[in-house]
Structure 1
């Protein structure tokens, strides 16, 4: 005879109904989309009853060690008696009462059995030497453990981390980590690292039971001791058929390929290494730190590796033995086994023919990679910004106050959405502006202040060959989401001659520095054929400029000009459109008003035309009574200015007006070391994005005031980190200045020696001409 209970919850699921049948227990969810759960009578090892709070709980332990918990029973003795009879008739087992500890004890004893860890209260015998388990404090299934480690250098603690469930409702709580302290043996020397502590013995027992480090089968590919930049350390990577293992000295992770969203292979600017990035759907965790992206630094050196592939081989792009650049081999193996695309650098090329731009985010320096569909910034932590997520970008501090006095500019990226999140990448060299601006424009990303930057662009130094063509990669290499395999194979088959050639043209090579310094000192372009000759600039006078050179001043007492019908319509429509959408810019607002005027019928335009006609009458009437001021002073000033320029003493040519001699502004060498930042500047770089995130409406001046006020309120201890950064930057500046002066002196010495030898050659040549 069956018995059914309603509103019974199953741990890990929602509420449903529980039924006792002849074959066992059957639980059905109230949600039709959730599969039913059944517990056969021959698979049930034991059942237990407990009361916690206002409900009764039924614990079902299976023969394989798994445990299921059912709640929602009435917390009465009658309910327990009825449930006891049903268990007896169905399973022929006794339903016992579980004694749970609610005293809040901190210490207890543990027991490991059937992949389950149980912690109970400590019960001492009469002599208080032997300890026995008492009431149960907690228990959990070790199969839910993701990893178990000893945190930091504490050998007497273990930290157990659990898999995070993505099926729970939003804002629900779940257990993700628990830490145990195991008292050390007083007879064991704590400084002896060769002897395992009791905590380490417990860790070994859990690891062997849960099989975190045990995997079935042999790995198909192994990358030993790979250098990880994020998280920092050395980890070995083992690739299996459905997951990969990432294990180091302390932490061990098992990552399913289904949890990998993207893979990236990006060239590092040093041309020696590459960055291989693994983007995860579910971040891994070390303590309280989450890691959404794994960044591996891989060498470009030629190497070989052996794979253990199954027979038949399901990966046609892989062979048992592979050779080529280490970075390319890693990308090819990951692409084939994981089934994920590998994104490579796009068509963007910096001024120095690199695939990235050196810049800073907050107080951290790193590399910004403009790809075909997103920006990637590499440091701690990595930042990925897709173009379709960008609301607008803005080039900040580019004009340098209209004089171009700064050598760097900032790139501010504002994201879409109500939060208006913003990333600011600072300290970008001005030489990178043109390529970066053209790249962003081609991606149809909105640039806020493009026209303002173009109008105020007055570089304070030679930015190099701005008219040179930008050298792009082949289409095959530049495809952001193309087939990496073809690119990879092509690179591996070709010899490394490109690398050697690029070394000779590197900006960091001694030869190119000396050639550039000599060319600047002599006023000539470098003769190594590395760049095109700069065309001569021809000054052309503006066609609209009059001979007088001075604009006639308008009389402030003159009547105000008459407004047209469109102007009256604009004055009426502008506040309405602005009220509908306050975010409209000046240009967008003007476009909307113009479109609305064009759609307006002739009948609806009549009120505005009448207003314009009335204003025109007003203007004509005021002009009748208006007497313009005398122009004697203006004519005299004009004649004085013309007297200097209308002289005909030089064959009819006019002399230019004499101007006050102004000493030319000293051009700063772009190769000179970057000036050292002060402690306040480092604090400002760190605090600015925080204040901007708190209140995006802050203007530049208000933001500066808040930063200044916060700096003044800080004590000496709080300022210490920024003082240290400033001190380190000052030492960097001293070192670079010394190297720069030495290089400059050497270049000038070489130039002097070359000019002396050229003079002797010229004299010898003159003698030969005379003798002939």
Structure 2
């Protein structure tokens, strides 16, 4: 038996003792805890390289698991190499990592991990078990998301790998959660149908026909999805819903529901979300009485590039019915989901999705409060946050604004609700704003342009929830009504006469900015038009006689004689 002290397993917080024997290898933490063992028949390959705490021995198991043992001394290589060769029949490969610091290289898909090579040397490797999701972030860009510490069942436990895979830095303050690869150009995708036998005449041409040229980023994305088994690792889909409209993030997605997670498949983006990430589940009917909203509150939120989506908002038609049978054995349905799921559903689609989500995730469905009914008999009140219009729902323990930006406010955190009106225009009396101030100075949320008819239902709801209300628009409304009445009393026929522009000015008034340098015919024409109190009559005459543009001065005099007649005709 070979024994090594101060060895770290998968970047563990504390070191332990590593032992090798003919039957296999094991590691036990020095402070006590779970022991990791690996059978000799499961050891597929081994690599030796420099690492963080000295030298690292990386073991690749036959079941695609990756085990990293760090903290060896350089002198330990001979003992390890001899033990692996004699006991396991495996030669340890010595590898030197690229240390140039280049960020461009070549990606290589191995059996257990994605390797990024620079000048044929590995710069870093990403085990497939660490990858929780990937999607196309652009035409030539692929985003790779890593499993978070909270995702204990992110990709399941692979036999022949450590249990803490996927949550290495559980107590660390910082952790890498996403990496992006820019992959330009095109690549040839070779089909598996190529012959494995001896080459025949024309075999190269046949191979070229089977190779399909496509975007290199797409090929990388598809290969990674296949290698990392994203979605497939959860087993068969229990249910699938096609082309479901999502308001946040915007688009139509297919929903695949697995045992521990569900997947959203769109034209550009794919998302894999654990049921454990669902913290809130809302079913909110829209005011149009044609659609309903299903809202999922996620923690950690969904990421799309730099944008985070803490809420998923789906919109479904009320009259759309669906018939579906769950792809689940009777034994599994009876043992694990008894009284939670039914083998078959034939109901409106929003009820089916809600029941399946509730059965698989175990989350309670939150509905609008019975204590609130709007003036028009709806559960939501139409309003806006800044320039975004939406619906504000009043729930038993919270307020929820959807669809964008989806805003969740717990009632227990509300300090005071202020009702006010922005602006002094008479039209503002039709709407009002409410500002929800949070306790402890944690900020506020303003909901604008609420119909004035909703004031009384809102006040009754807040009073029922013992929320302090501050009304700042009582005096304003009285003043506005008084001002409107005064304007109606003072208005006369003289006050409402039309504004005739320069025709209402005195003839003797002088435009100080105008300097008459010459007495042109045009100036005389406008002067005469002013004297006849018909500044637009000249243009009317020109429009009536468009073919007389080249007339002489005598014809212009005849036009001036006709103008008063036309004006008097209008006056009648």
TM score, norm. by length of structure 2: 0.69
- Residue 24 in structure 1 maps to residue 24 in structure 2: yes
Question: In structure 2, what is the equivalent of residue 287 of structure 1?
Answer: 305
Question: In structure 2, what is the equivalent of residue 343 of structure 1?
Answer: 366
Residue 373 of structure 1 deviates from its aligned partner by 0.8
Q: How does 1:214-233 map to 2 (within 5 A)?
A: 214=232, 218-233=236-251
- Residue 43 in structure 1 maps to residue 42 in structure 2: yes
Question: In structure 2, what is the equivalent of residue 200 of structure 1?
Answer: 218
- Residue 151 in structure 1 maps to residue 137 in structure 2: yes
Q: Determine if contact 2:262/2:272 at 8 Å carries over to the other structure.
A: yes
Residue 254 of structure 1 deviates from its aligned partner by 2.8
2:463 to 429, 434, 441: 441
Residue 420 of structure 1 deviates from its aligned partner by 1.9
* C-alpha distance in 2 between matches for 1:21 and 1:183: 47
Question: In structure 2, what is the equivalent of residue 426 of structure 1?
Answer: 448
Q: Determine if contact 2:383/2:389 at 8 Å carries over to the other structure.
A: yes
Match of 1:380, SS state, is coil
Question: In structure 2, what is the equivalent of residue 139 of structure 1?
Answer: 125
Residue 100 of structure 1 deviates from its aligned partner by 0.9
- Residue 176 in structure 1 maps to residue 160 in structure 2: no
Q: Determine if contact 2:47/2:93 at 8 Å carries over to the other structure.
A: yes
Q: Determine if contact 1:47/1:60 at 8 Å carries over to the other structure.
A: yes
User: What RMSD in Å do the two structures reach over aligned CA positions?
Assistant: 3.3
- Residue 14 in structure 1 maps to residue 26 in structure 2: no
Q: How does 1:71-82 map to 2 (within 5 A)?
A: 71-74=70-73, 77-81=74-78
> 433-442 vs 252-261, which deviates more?
252-261
1:67–1:109 distance in 2 versus 1, CA, 3 Å: same
- Residue 3 in structure 1 maps to residue 3 in structure 2: yes
Question: In structure 1, what is the equivalent of residue 286 of structure 2?
Answer: 268
TM score, norm. by length of structure 1: 0.52
Match of 2:455, SS state, is helix
- Residue 250 in structure 1 maps to residue 268 in structure 2: yes
Question: In structure 1, what is the equivalent of residue 387 of structure 2?
Answer: 363
Q: Determine if contact 1:391/1:446 at 8 Å carries over to the other structure.
A: yes
1:31–1:228 distance in 2 versus 1, CA, 3 Å: farther
Question: In structure 2, what is the equivalent of residue 372 of structure 1?
Answer: 396
Q: How many residues align?
A: 440
Residue 87 of structure 1 deviates from its aligned partner by 4.8
Match of 2:329, SS state, is coil
- Residue 411 in structure 1 maps to residue 434 in structure 2: yes
* C-alpha distance in 2 between matches for 1:277 and 1:352: 23
Match of 1:438, SS state, is helix
Q: Determine if contact 1:404/1:459 at 8 Å carries over to the other structure.
A: no
- Residue 296 in structure 1 maps to residue 293 in structure 2: no
2:96 to 99, 117, 138: 99
1:109 to 93, 98, 106: 106
Match of 2:173, SS state, is coil
1:91–1:20 distance in 2 versus 1, CA, 3 Å: farther
1:432–1:216 distance in 2 versus 1, CA, 3 Å: closer
1:98–1:454 distance in 2 versus 1, CA, 3 Å: same
1:120 to 117, 131, 134: 117
1:51–1:434 distance in 2 versus 1, CA, 3 Å: same
1:396–1:119 distance in 2 versus 1, CA, 3 Å: same
* C-alpha distance in 2 between matches for 1:443 and 1:388: 9
* C-alpha distance in 2 between matches for 1:119 and 1:663: 77
* C-alpha distance in 1 between matches for 2:89 and 2:485: 106
1:446–1:280 distance in 2 versus 1, CA, 3 Å: same
Residue 79 of structure 1 deviates from its aligned partner by 4.4
* C-alpha distance in 1 between matches for 2:53 and 2:322: 65
> 218-227 vs 22-31, which deviates more?
22-31
* C-alpha distance in 2 between matches for 1:430 and 1:410: 9
1:174–1:276 distance in 2 versus 1, CA, 3 Å: same
**Structure number having the greater strand percentage:** 2
Residue 440 of structure 1 deviates from its aligned partner by 1.0
Q: Which ranges in structure 2 are unaligned for 5 or more consecutive residues?
A: 151-166, 189-211, 490-572
1:455–1:396 distance in 2 versus 1, CA, 3 Å: closer
**Structure number having the greater helix percentage:** 1
Question: In structure 2, what is the equivalent of residue 692 of structure 1?
Answer: none
* C-alpha distance in 1 between matches for 2:56 and 2:384: 56
2:356 to 328, 333, 345: 333
Q: Determine if contact 1:224/1:237 at 8 Å carries over to the other structure.
A: yes
1:383 to 407, 424, 444: 407
Q: Determine if contact 1:404/1:460 at 8 Å carries over to the other structure.
A: no
Match of 1:143, SS state, is helix
Question: In structure 1, what is the equivalent of residue 512 of structure 2?
Answer: none
* C-alpha distance in 2 between matches for 1:307 and 1:274: 23
1:290–1:391 distance in 2 versus 1, CA, 3 Å: same
* C-alpha distance in 2 between matches for 1:58 and 1:264: 49
Match of 1:150, SS state, is strand
Please give the per-residue CA displacement for 1:346-395, whole angstroms capped at 9, x wherever unaligned: 12112222211111112212111111110000022311111112233222
* C-alpha distance in 2 between matches for 1:37 and 1:88: 22
- Residue 305 in structure 1 maps to residue 307 in structure 2: no
Match of 1:64, SS state, is coil
Match of 2:330, SS state, is coil
Residue 403 of structure 1 deviates from its aligned partner by 9.7
1:53–1:163 distance in 2 versus 1, CA, 3 Å: closer
